[in-house]
Amino acid sequence: MLADIVDRLRCPHCAGDLALDVRTLRCPNGHTFDVAKQGYVSLLTGHAPAVPGDTAAMVAARESFLTGGHFAGITSLLAARAAALPAGVPAAAGDRCVLDLGAGTGHYLASVLDALPGWTGIAADISGYALRRAARAHARAGAVRCDAWRPLPLKNGAVDVVINVFAPRNGAELNRVLKPGGVVLVVGPTDRHLRELASAVGAVSVDPRKSDRLDAALGPHLTRVGSEEYETTLRLSHAEAVTAVAMGPAAWHVEPDVLAERVGALPEPVDVTVSVTLSTYRR
């Protein structure tokens, strides 16, 4: 619910406190933000986003793929690591909050909140299509539209934990919005992730230096305290394989009919590698 997180938000224009008045957020300087009928609020400032948000088709594909349980291992691992984290700042459970930056449909945030009774959650994403689903993902979560590459509309030290799954991250802003001792859990692909599909459809493969790039982005602001790899093999139907590609960045570069044709040329079922690294950073 948006009401549960409004005290952690700030005005994106003046950094003033925000208050919820029926279906509008207001700050003392007169800036107002209407709550969409789907339950999320846009705190964008009007600047063009650095990257486009996921389209309706991409969001629908992601919802289908994730609810099909294909990334259940990643989801479970993330929730377990969040639940096992030591507390940064002493507080009652009801005073704790987890931010999912690049939340998409809210799938991962919902699982983490199930593992953290009493915590509240913030689903933050640039895509309004994604936030329509994220706003309903969990009873203890509110959804906010914002740009991860710009100052986040959150107060200093607003959250205890940040999760970031296949999404952009801004080291300086993560440091600012985390409480002292707070933790960021980052899930990113290795160069083996979905490699069979990338090769088949002609999509860009994952940069093998991605881990180094992650350290370069977060290292100046946060301390890396651990990492672990998770890898498994999926056996996907052609339809499921198409959905796996259509939910990610390759969807911007491969037309749907071309994607279906190229996947259709593969044996069925398609053996697909899932390979990610979960990295932990602490403020």
Residue 144 has phi, psi (to 5 degrees) of -135, 130
C-alpha span between 196 and 203 (Å, rounded): 10
pLDDT of residue 5: 94
Q: What would the DSSP string read from start to end of 183-195?
A: EEEEEEE-TTTTH
Residue type, 18: L
- Tally of CB atoms within 10 A around 149: 15
Taking CA atoms, 180 is separated from 122, 127, 204, 220, 280, in Å, by: 18, 29, 38, 16, 15
pLDDT of residue 17: 96
End-to-end CA distance of the chain: 27
Q: What is the pLDDT along the chain (283 residues), one digit of tens a residue?
A: 788 899 999 999 999 999 999 899 999 999 999 999 999 999 998 766 666 788 999 999 999 999 999 999 999 999 999 999 865 444 555 689 999 999 999 999 999 999 999 999 999 999 999 999 999 999 999 999 999 999 999 999 999 999 999 998 899 999 999 999 999 999 999 989 999 988 887 765 666 666 778 888 898 999 999 999 999 999 999 999 999 999 988 777 778 888 888 888 899 999 999 999 999 999 9
Q: Are 107 and 75 in contact (CB under 8 A)?
A: yes
- Give the start-end residues of each E strand in 84-169: 97-101, 120-125, 141-145, 159-165
Identify the CA nearest to 108 among candidates 15, 186, 3, 13.
186
Q: Strands 120-125 and 159-165, how do they pair? A: unpaired
Residue spans of the domains in the chain: they are 2-282
C-alpha span between 134 and 177 (Å, rounded): 21
List the structure tokens of 203: 């999509």
Q: Are 35 and 24 in contact (CB under 8 A)?
A: yes
Q: Strands 97-101 and 120-125, how do they pair? A: parallel
Provide the angle, in degrees to the nearest 10, between the axes of the packed helices 107-115 and 56-67: 40
Identify the CA nearest to 59 among candidates 276, 243, 259, 264.
243
pLDDT of residue 90: 44
C-alpha span between 283 and 281 (Å, rounded): 7
Identify the CA nearest to 189 among candidates 117, 250, 237.
250
List the structure tokens of 151: 């100052």
Identify the CA nearest to 137 among candidates 123, 158, 126, 125.
123
pLDDT of residue 131: 96
C-alpha span between 119 and 97 (Å, rounded): 5
Per the listing, tokens 């996921």 go with 54
Give the domain 2-282 fold.
Rossmann fold (3.40.50)
